[in-house]
Structure 1
């Protein structure tokens, strides 16, 4: 293995460990909204506004950090941002008012928002010729974190109440410290190796593609909003539907969904869909329409237990399948955006990993309020299904990457 390749692989591993840690931390509260409302002495749905403000601020923060990152070197933010989030998220159990809890969530979200654009762009640029595969590994680590986070958060809440989230310091602080040290070490080693060899083959090729027109960016954005809708909505809706269940069970639903995203990411990492990007962007989204609807009406009674611990039920299996169908396209979605915005890759990453989630949050909560008003919360799963169709149509209308290639490029992009 060439020296520069070895260093790039080491940096990718560090970024994956960081992403795993950040997403475990960021998703511990995903299934705890009803518990947070109970902790604050609010009625059902009483903290929705605070939750919405948090998610939207998080997404806007990603866009701002992505914009700044394209102009200012902010590599240290890969470990400093999550460290700040650790302090904020770990103390939400000590917030005694909706305002203080919202502030803690917003501040914690800012640290997560700072991490994602810089880390995703760094991962993709470690090997521009294998951008899809390297981003798939990076995304996979995040999905693994998201599959652990909700169940972990639910278990902590059931066992120690919300104040127990301070136990995050025992495992998260050492990992983030290790990430900061190794990232600094390997980054310096990479820069020295490039300076000595004068070889920039492993550096990003920023001008290999022309910028996309506004219409294509609009399609990518609208499709992205509805692409993430099930991922952000299903865990929250089920936390209200399963009111009689424990926080651990509610978190398990989210964990199955996120585990599915991880399995899809593994498939992408090993080449599935990387040669036919548009097909991978629209077909799985269309196939997701069926399991997403069925989730709302599925039984939670376990069929059996894996290793006598992990419950397997109709609801969990459908969540897993829906997650797999979505997960296989997520890394390609991020990679596609980076390729059609060659001069603003961090901004592109923030668009696909942040702004779409924030906008999707607003649309989701508006839909949730409507279906609650109709006293038919399960009807929102039909809305999720319709959103998957919208995503598929928008993705189908995207132009192939080969249409954006500069004339100097000789390798065509397969559809």
Structure 2
């Protein structure tokens, strides 16, 4: 029961942190409307959140491999919230980029250590890790609604109110860490880490990069694309962004459940194939039906998410912090590095033309994972210190 409580608390804390990853894309339409940013300038905001994060996450992962750093969870949560909360103040583009980058640094510090702690709390259960990932997905899904509720009425000057989830999340992290630190009274045999498989980990990581570019590209521009396809206003675009994030809630839990029945690699492969069809449908199907393909794309992108994290940890069982920092952090952040290219292409041609190549990336991801095999020693990465 104590372990279940810890996973629930960690999942809720994860939601509070990933609100700020989703908030970056959710704020973009408001920056465009209030500050007249171009597509390229707007995508630069997403780049700012991703660039520092992409460099920092593997470093934080390596640090957590050497020594557990549980205090990072509440501190990084507050840092992630502070950057977004202050980003709407002032008109300076450079200051906005700096504050969004600060938020990205907080997110970077959070994910490697949270993946390690969650794996410890889950005892290698795919379902439990699915619930942990669900928290992040719900945070993403809540971001556009939260941002719209705060900013739509009073403008960007109200963004300081967005710090509230960070305060709540930091408290939840502290409670979860205390619950894990309490003696459980269980013997809990310690497992011996297996052997690292760098080749499989590299192929998996490249596949996650393909998934990341697709997801970040869609999350940044899907609101504009749906407005064009449906002829609707801002509400139609916000609804599409919410569907993209909320559909991931189903995908996160479903991925863990499917992996308990079939192996993780098979589930990941099939998810990438679904994503190819779904993303293609976004650009081929006209009218309100586009929302159906947004939901399918969301499920296809999220079903493998938590599975890729645990696969990465099992491919690098002696360096699970580094594995978490890359699969849960670096490869996800890399997607943000490509958004300026998409934005520049959209300014030069059209948004639909710039986004269409995203349908090819899940196919590349499928080719990369096609030759992977389930690690022989599943859950070996749980061989960590008994304390968080």
TM-score normalized with structure 1 length: 0.83
Using the TM superposition, give the Cα deviation of residue 246 of structure 1 relative to its aligned residue in structure 2, in angstroms: 4.8
Using the TM superposition, give the Cα deviation of residue 400 of structure 1 relative to its aligned residue in structure 2, in angstroms: 2.6
Moved more, 246-255 or 336-345: 246-255
Using the TM superposition, give the Cα deviation of residue 90 of structure 1 relative to its aligned residue in structure 2, in angstroms: 0.9
For the 8 Å contact 1:280–1:329, the answer to whether it is kept is yes
Seen in structure 2, the aligned counterparts of structure 1 residues 239 and 8 have a Cα distance that, compared at 3 Å, is same
User: Counterparts of 2:234 and 2:58 in 1: how far apart (Å)?
Assistant: 32
For the 8 Å contact 1:261–1:328, the answer to whether it is kept is yes
Using the TM superposition, give the Cα deviation of residue 181 of structure 1 relative to its aligned residue in structure 2, in angstroms: 3.9
User: Counterparts of 2:7 and 2:379 in 1: how far apart (Å)?
Assistant: 27
Structure 1 position 323 matched with structure 2 position 323: no
CA RMSD of aligned residues (A): 2.5
1:37-116 equivalences under 5 Å are 37-116=32-111
For the 8 Å contact 1:69–1:346, the answer to whether it is kept is yes
Using the TM superposition, give the Cα deviation of residue 403 of structure 1 relative to its aligned residue in structure 2, in angstroms: 8.2
- How far does the alpha carbon of each residue in 1:101-124 deviate from its partner, in whole angstroms, 9 at most, with x for none? 111101111111111111122111
Using the TM superposition, give the Cα deviation of residue 218 of structure 1 relative to its aligned residue in structure 2, in angstroms: 2.5
Count of paired positions: 377
Using the TM superposition, give the Cα deviation of residue 180 of structure 1 relative to its aligned residue in structure 2, in angstroms: 4.0
Aligned to 1:365: 340
Structure 1 position 401 matched with structure 2 position 388: no
Query: Which of these residues, 340, 363, 373, is aligned with residue 315 of structure 2?
Result: 340
User: Counterparts of 2:45 and 2:255 in 1: how far apart (Å)?
Assistant: 36
SS, match of residue 134 in structure 2: helix
Aligned to 2:180: 187
User: Counterparts of 2:374 and 2:180 in 1: how far apart (Å)?
Assistant: 33
Aligned to 1:200: 188
For the 8 Å contact 1:31–1:247, the answer to whether it is kept is no
Structure 1 position 231 matched with structure 2 position 218: no
- How far does the alpha carbon of each residue in 1:193-230 deviate from its partner, in whole angstroms, 9 at most, with x for none? 36xx6x233x5x351x21013x3233112111111223
Runs of 5+ in structure 2 lacking a partner? Answer: 381-388
Query: Which of these residues, 285, 295, 302, is aligned with residue 272 of structure 2?
Result: 285
Using the TM superposition, give the Cα deviation of residue 65 of structure 1 relative to its aligned residue in structure 2, in angstroms: 1.2
For the 8 Å contact 2:44–2:340, the answer to whether it is kept is no
For the 8 Å contact 1:81–1:112, the answer to whether it is kept is yes
Using the TM superposition, give the Cα deviation of residue 298 of structure 1 relative to its aligned residue in structure 2, in angstroms: 4.1
- How far does the alpha carbon of each residue in 1:308-361 deviate from its partner, in whole angstroms, 9 at most, with x for none? xxxxx4222211111112221111111100001111112111111221122222
Query: Which of these residues, 145, 154, 165, is aligned with residue 159 of structure 2?
Result: 165
User: Counterparts of 1:111 and 1:339 in 2: how far apart (Å)?
Assistant: 26
- How far does the alpha carbon of each residue in 1:7-31 deviate from its partner, in whole angstroms, 9 at most, with x for none? 2111111101101111123312313
Query: Which of these residues, 7, 11, 15, is aligned with residue 12 of structure 1?
Result: 7
- How far does the alpha carbon of each residue in 1:361-391 deviate from its partner, in whole angstroms, 9 at most, with x for none? 2334324433542x13212443111101000
Per residue, is there more helix in 1 or in 2?
2
User: Counterparts of 2:322 and 2:275 in 1: how far apart (Å)?
Assistant: 28
User: Counterparts of 2:265 and 2:350 in 1: how far apart (Å)?
Assistant: 35
Seen in structure 2, the aligned counterparts of structure 1 residues 402 and 187 have a Cα distance that, compared at 3 Å, is closer
- How far does the alpha carbon of each residue in 1:55-79 deviate from its partner, in whole angstroms, 9 at most, with x for none? 1212222222111111122101111
Q: Which has the higher contact order (CA 8 A, sep 6+)?
A: 2
Aligned to 2:134: 140
Query: Which of these residues, 155, 168, 172, is aligned with residue 149 of structure 2?
Result: 155
Structure 1 position 390 matched with structure 2 position 384: no
For the 8 Å contact 1:40–1:97, the answer to whether it is kept is no
User: Counterparts of 1:25 and 1:155 in 2: how far apart (Å)?
Assistant: 15
For the 8 Å contact 1:155–1:248, the answer to whether it is kept is no
Larger Cα Rg: Structure 1 or Structure 2?
1
For the 8 Å contact 1:257–1:323, the answer to whether it is kept is yes
Seen in structure 2, the aligned counterparts of structure 1 residues 347 and 47 have a Cα distance that, compared at 3 Å, is same
